[in-house]
Structure 1
């Protein structure tokens, strides 16, 4: 069944994007995994075809289309591989901060390059000693005349190597009570004095996605790079987390769909004891269980996307989806690998990569434990 937000123009767009990815992504993805990075020229090709930041205003290089187009992009990129998550982060997580809270001058300066792929973005919240407790960040930004002086470290930063513009959560008022009221967002550019990149982190999965440490040592940032108002950074982050977690849920759902599809193909082709293993009752029951979970997940997800596009507050449901769909995908990865038998453990089979890539989805954008805390609070517990 077609999702209610999908119209004919979305279908045409999906067909065009798939054709592009079949030429520019699928043939090279395994090499990108081996290289441990996606080349910048792929970003430029995405931008040239209008697949970056399609929802921003035309005056800044976007197409001013609805978020359904962003959903299509996220789905099709996930079908290629989970390592392309950095593009969704750029399009639907970082750039919206600029579009929503940026000044006209900031938008004119940065958004057109974000849409072409010449400027790659990142957001830096997590620190070596601070993950889910965002109010406990230690990175500081002290205003001195026309500049903020930033000191601190960030880690696990998606697009950390490629990024040209990073939205950094920092404490502009370390003495604020409650602590979250001291948080502000600063846009720090690639060439900022005092900004360096640490290691490109060696992850279990998502090998082609560049994740890095960022270091700020008396980093000099013009005060006009403040995003929105000082002290409102935590509020801005909370307002945008619904969309971020929805993006993660979309990727998890598509990964599950892809894993089931490849596993069905495999069990039909593989024989044991003189017959296809798809004819064994255990295989059929496992496939039936996964197919049911996936169908239910898709129905819930499409409902949430529709509500989100209508501007509804769906934080509780999105938290449910982020938790449940990432857990589903993790469980399905294990079941699908098992049904592949020994071949599932071989790198030449895609299920091995999917099995490595999916677990982190239950950790980033707020751990699934935090999702349960949000759900419990919002239902009155």
Structure 2
């Protein structure tokens, strides 16, 4: 089935993204993978190429490209080359942090943060998850105490992408002094730069996506100017909820892109690989498996494409975004598993892209809210 989704401007942007991928990422990615870290030069190069902060208005150094299809083009190029770690690192910066600044940040915050985030001079992370509070953000215990014109922030965060390489994090902290499970008005959001009292723990050794760093963060009375408060005090949890559709759409788009890339690579492999005197693709079992996978890939693309169009129109709600993420992330998990099986023993060798994709895609049903949380969100919407 032909996919008539992208237009001429997207095709031109694809050429830019592909050239950047081939020049700046492909020759160096193996080293990043070994070092568990992307260099700052990748971020500044992406900024120079116009690949960061696509939706940021021109007044703040961006291009005002609010059509999410441009972001999907980047994911497809990264997935095709098995560089998903780069795509997800950029998603944290572009789809988690930036939307909160754009929607709720003061003019001062925007002027201070948006230009360097677009240029790659400043790299950011999202510091919400804690050892005792993953999907349930009302369990967050990090606290922010007002002291004159500042807040003092103390607490611990974990599973923070860009945590070591980043310059700052968007921190969810409790501002009402409560203990236990907080209320809807207990939390606020802050842009927190690395400073005295802000430290990173050990780099976490993940099963996949090793080219991006993930770490614990510790805050010990970090002094943060009150001007770094994003929006109004007590509205942090509401802001996070309102911006969930974009974050979940980002993961659905990445999942769909990986599913397509892995399927295409598997078709090529089964046509080139021989067994018992025949091409692997000529066995009926292989053809049946590939038929099922192609159908799922194209259904997923169609579903996620519609979610992107709804987002562009401002109509993608939390339940619909959760459905797109649930479907796409669960499909890519299953698809990479079956594609690996079609590779036989070679599929288990990390030199082969399908093995790397298998490990990387396993995160997608967890990251940004687990599949169980997606089902709960959808189920509550049904029960209303």
Mark yes or no: TM-score above 0.5. yes
State the Cα deviation string for residues 155-176 of structure 1 (Å, max 9, x = none).
0001101111211000001339
* 8 Å contact kept, 2:37–2:165: no
* 8 Å contact kept, 2:307–2:316: no
Q: Which residue of 2 aligns with 1:93?
A: 96
Question: What is the CA distance between 1:3 and its match in structure 2?
Answer: 4.8
Q: Which residue of 1 aligns with 2:187?
A: 183
* 8 Å contact kept, 2:124–2:168: yes
Q: Which residue of 1 aligns with 2:311?
A: 308
Report the number of matched residues: 379
Counterpart-to-counterpart distance in 2, 1:194 and 1:19: 41
* 8 Å contact kept, 1:137–1:171: yes
Matches within 5 A, 1:190-209: 190=194, 192-209=195-212
* 8 Å contact kept, 2:61–2:115: yes
State the Cα deviation string for residues 259-311 of structure 1 (Å, max 9, x = none).
11111111111111111010001000100000000110111111110001000
Question: What is the CA distance between 1:79 and its match in structure 2?
Answer: 2.9
Could you tell me which runs of 5 or more consecutive residues in structure 2 were left unpaired when the two chains were aligned. none
**CA distance 1:149–1:170, shift in 2 (3 Å):** same
TM (norm. structure 1) is: 0.96
Counterpart-to-counterpart distance in 1, 2:15 and 2:102: 28
Name the SS for the 2:126 alignment partner: strand
**CA distance 1:337–1:363, shift in 2 (3 Å):** same
- Whether 1:241 and 2:252 are equivalent positions in the alignment is no
* 8 Å contact kept, 1:70–1:92: no
Decide which of 322, 340, 343 is 2:343's aligned counterpart: 340
Question: What is the CA distance between 1:178 and its match in structure 2?
Answer: 5.8
* 8 Å contact kept, 2:162–2:213: yes
* 8 Å contact kept, 1:74–1:88: no
Counterpart-to-counterpart distance in 2, 1:122 and 1:185: 13
Q: Which residue of 2 aligns with 1:59?
A: 59
* 8 Å contact kept, 1:304–1:314: no
Runs of 4+ in 1 over 6 A off after TM superposition: none
- Whether 1:294 and 2:297 are equivalent positions in the alignment is yes
Aligned Cα root-mean-square deviation (Å): 1.4
- Point out the more displaced range, 61-70 or 353-362: 61-70
Name the SS for the 1:38 alignment partner: coil
Q: Which residue of 2 aligns with 1:152?
A: 155
Counterpart-to-counterpart distance in 2, 1:248 and 1:3: 22
Matches within 5 A, 1:244-255: 244-255=247-258
Q: Which residue of 2 aligns with 1:79?
A: 80
Counterpart-to-counterpart distance in 1, 2:266 and 2:90: 27
Q: Which residue of 1 aligns with 2:25?
A: 25
Question: What is the CA distance between 1:93 and its match in structure 2?
Answer: 1.7
TM (norm. structure 2) is: 0.96
Counterpart-to-counterpart distance in 2, 1:228 and 1:374: 25
